[in-house]
Amino acid sequence: MINAMMDKVLNTISKEKLIESMSKILNCTNAAIEVFAYDLRNINRNTNVDEINLERFFDFIGLDVSNKKKLFELNRFDSIIVSHLTSRIENIEFCKKPLLNLFDALSSATELSQFLELEGLKFIRKAKKLITIYNGQEVDWGNFRQCGNMTSNAAMLKRRLWGGKYAADRCVNGFLFNDCIWDDGNVKHITRCPEIIQDICCVLGRQDIVMKWVEKAKPCVICFRGRVADVIIDERTKYRTEKSKVYYFYKQALYYIVMKKWGFWDPRFHNPIIRLKDDLNVSDEDIVACYYIEQRV
């Protein structure tokens, strides 16, 4: 659990909350941030986030940019808000429950594991793997791959549940900005049913299980507080230190504010996906908001 009383948090739940949280962290006015965004009115929809000049911004709001170490101490923050797309059978009370990584969600008593157990599926931790038991028999995801049956789905399951050359993929992930995250083409399918259920049922030929989930569940968004130190930015290997991540998030925040102001923001392309370290869970105290998506996509 993160100490919310002591934390400096970059709040990305809305543009207004973002500006407000930045002004508190940087000890400047909301207006100063808005004016900086207005001064970048020559941007267009093809403008890249790397074109945002952070040093110019810090200087604009009155920070001394000559001492880099002191500058970071002034503008650092501890946590950010991450927006997680999912679907839930339970009602809105799910806000009061922790958000678990894949291994914990499948191997402990959760809505997901209990739903799958009714369909003959159980999951058992064994060393660093998660073993799948279907109707009393252990499933060999590697065998499906060798047979060429549903190769891509079986390969995905083998990687996520067994690991291999790379660590097993079991993290809690989400988007940096809480802004129509369901419009991203890479995740639209998650609003219907968790990806892990879709992959398992595709390989086992049990699409009826997917349909049962779809009939009962509602798509929703869960916003949670994540420590900068615990956040991983994939495909951005240069963003590994706390300082590099803080400055990356500032750039993205300014880019978001500017692009929104001038009508160029597109949630399909401009919203970074980030994740927590693999074994971490989100405590119920760190869930700051949750809501249903009114219309399926």
pLDDT digits (tens, 9 = 90+) for 19-55: 999 999 999 999 999 999 888 877 777 888 888 999 9
**Which two structure tokens, joined as six digits, stand for 158?**
């083998």
Final residue of a structural domain among 196, 221, 246: 221
| 212 assigned to some structural domain | yes
| 2 assigned to some structural domain | no
Judgement on whether residues 96 and 166 belong to the same structural domain of the protein: yes
The number of domains in the chain is 2
Judgement on whether residues 147 and 72 belong to the same structural domain of the protein: no
Judgement on whether residues 93 and 163 belong to the same structural domain of the protein: yes
| 3 assigned to some structural domain | no
Task: State pLDDT tens for residues 87-131.
Answer: 999 876 667 789 999 999 999 999 999 999 999 999 999 988 999
Q: Which of 123-132, 187-196, 228-237 has the lowest mean pLDDT?
A: 228-237
Task: State pLDDT tens for residues 204-216.
Answer: 999 999 999 999 9
**CB–CB of 162/216 below 8 Å?**
no
Q: What percent of the chain has pLDDT over 90?
A: 70
DSSP letter string, 140-190: -HHHHHHHTTTHHHHHHHHHHHH--SS------EEESS-SSGGG-TTTGGG
| 4 assigned to some structural domain | no
Of 281 and 37, the structure prediction assigns the larger pLDDT to: 281
Judgement on whether residues 13 and 36 belong to the same structural domain of the protein: yes
**Which two structure tokens, joined as six digits, stand for 130?**
């998660």
Judgement on whether residues 20 and 123 belong to the same structural domain of the protein: no
Judgement on whether residues 68 and 152 belong to the same structural domain of the protein: no
- Cβ atoms < 10 Å from Cβ of 173: 17
Judgement on whether residues 115 and 207 belong to the same structural domain of the protein: yes
Of 149 and 247, the structure prediction assigns the larger pLDDT to: 247
Model confidence at 83: pLDDT above 50: yes
**CB–CB of 196/101 below 8 Å?**
no
What are the respective helix, strand and coil percentages of the chain, to the nearest 5? 45, 20, 40
Judgement on whether residues 60 and 120 belong to the same structural domain of the protein: no
CA distances from 51 to 10, 12, 137, 139 (A): 21, 21, 55, 49
Model confidence at 236: pLDDT above 70: no
Segments forming the whole domain that contains residue 122: 87-172+181-221
Q: In this structure, are strands 9-10 and 79-88 parallel, antiparallel, or unpaired? A: parallel
Judgement on whether residues 235 and 214 belong to the same structural domain of the protein: no
| 34 assigned to some structural domain | yes
Residues 6+ apart with CB under 8 A from 115: 89, 212, 213
What's the rounded mean pLDDT across residues 43-68?
Answer: 90
| 1 assigned to some structural domain | no
Model confidence at 145: pLDDT above 80: no
Judgement on whether residues 199 and 106 belong to the same structural domain of the protein: yes
Model confidence at 296: pLDDT above 50: no
Judgement on whether residues 198 and 91 belong to the same structural domain of the protein: yes
**Residue whose structure tokens are 């995905």:** 156
Judgement on whether residues 73 and 143 belong to the same structural domain of the protein: no
| 42 assigned to some structural domain | yes
Q: What value does the mean pLDDT of the chain take? A: 89
What's the rounded mean pLDDT across residues 145-152?
Answer: 59
Model confidence at 199: pLDDT above 80: yes
Q: In this structure, are strands 129-134 and 137-138 parallel, antiparallel, or unpaired? A: antiparallel
Sign of CA dihedral 96, 100, 102, 104: negative
| 297 assigned to some structural domain | no
